[in-house]
Each structure stands twice: as C-alpha cells, then as structure tokens.
Amino acid sequence: MAVVIGPPGSGKTVTGRELAGLLGVAFHDTDEAIVAAQGRSVSDIFVDDGEVTFRALERAEVARALQAEPGVVALGGGAPIDPDTQELLEGHAVVFLDVGIADAARRIGFDRSRPLLSVNPRASWIAMMNTRRPVYDRLAGLRVDTAGRTPLEVAHDIVDRLGGLR
C-alpha cells in the first residue's frame, strides 16, 4: 500500500489514481469516502458542523482505510496533522506530493469550495504550508516535487523511486 499526502493543489487524488493504475491496484480517497458517507461536501460539513466534526470523521475514515483498503490511499491535506493519524501512518509507504503556491493556485484556483482557504486564499495556503510542511516531511519516506509535471509523470516517478511498492 502507498499513502499519498500533501497540501491542496498537490494532486493527491489525480496522481493517486494514476499511481494505482500503474500498479494495478485499487485507489481510495478518504475525502471522497467521507463525502459519499455523509452525502454532503467537505465544505458543507465544515460550515454546518465545524472543523472539529470533520476532523473526527476524517480520523475515523483514515484509520479504516489504512486497515481495510488495499492499494493506494490518498489522504485529505489536513489528515496527517492529527497525532493519531501520524501513528497509524508508521510502517506505510508514505509519499509527500510537494507543490509550490504558483502550481497549487493554477490547479485548484483557490476557490471557495476549500474551507480552510476561503479567506485570503494565498496567505492562508502559505500559512498552512508553513505549519504542515515539517509534518509532511517527517512522515514521508518519499518527497516528490509535482511542479510543472503531469500526474502520470509524477506517478511514474513514484513507481521508479519506490521500486513498484508491491
């Protein structure tokens, strides 16, 4: 199993899908699973129930996915910040998809659907990365720069550098 982490705009979902395809394994996105289970968007959960509730749902889904989902698992950008999740990631092949603000902005547009980036998106993203980067770096066995690369190119790089992950 490979676990893909990184900030918004790093390409966790699209690269994770490509990686799973190259490896011939299943792909699972924890944010997508939460949305499906709750029947509402991540933004709606944040607005209606608050970040604490979303993080509890996220923590439970990550724990479930790491135990039950074979293949490639993509975590939401904030999931690795949780200390319980950090413990659960030990022993997994964790890949940090790194991205600079220019590429992140181009990919996600810093739209209002991202609750933690809804006010002053660029400054919020920079502040978020200043907090999260050390955690991502510490947890990951592999850091991959996604700047100027397609998700398929990044996925091939991951496979090459981790020797197939199987």
Reply yes or no on whether the pLDDT at 164 is more than 60: no
Reply yes or no on whether the pLDDT at 16 is more than 80: yes
pLDDT in tens, 21-35: 999 999 999 999 999
Tell me the C-alpha distance between 78 and 89, whole Å.
14
Q: Which CATH number does 2-162 carry?
A: 3.40.50.300
Please compute the mean of the pLDDT values over residues 141-145 and round it to a whole number: 95
Selected residue with higher pLDDT from 113 and 141? 141
Tell me the C-alpha distance between 2 and 74, whole Å.
8
Please compute the mean of the pLDDT values over residues 61-66 and round it to a whole number: 98
pLDDT value at residue 44: 92
Model confidence at 148, pLDDT cuts 50, 70, 90, reads confident
Please compute the mean of the pLDDT values over residues 135-163 and round it to a whole number: 94
Task: Give the bridge partners for 96, in sequence order.
Answer: 5, 143
Across the chain, mean pLDDT equals: 89
Instruction: Give yes or no for a contact between 3 and 73, defined as CB atoms under 8 angstroms apart.
Output: yes
Two tokens at 102?
């220019």
Instruction: Give yes or no for a contact between 17 and 73, defined as CB atoms under 8 angstroms apart.
Output: no
Where exactly are the structural domains of the chain?
2-162
pLDDT in tens, 76-123: 999 999 999 999 999 999 999 998 776 666 656 555 555 545 556 777
Q: Give the sheet arrangement for strand 2-5, strand by strand.
A: 27-29, 72-74, 2-5, 93-98, 142-145
pLDDT value at residue 166: 47
Q: Tell me the DSSP string of 47-104.
A: HHH-HHHHHHHHHHHHHHHHHH--SEEEPPTTGGGSHHHHHHHTTSEEEEEE--HHHH
pLDDT value at residue 124: 79
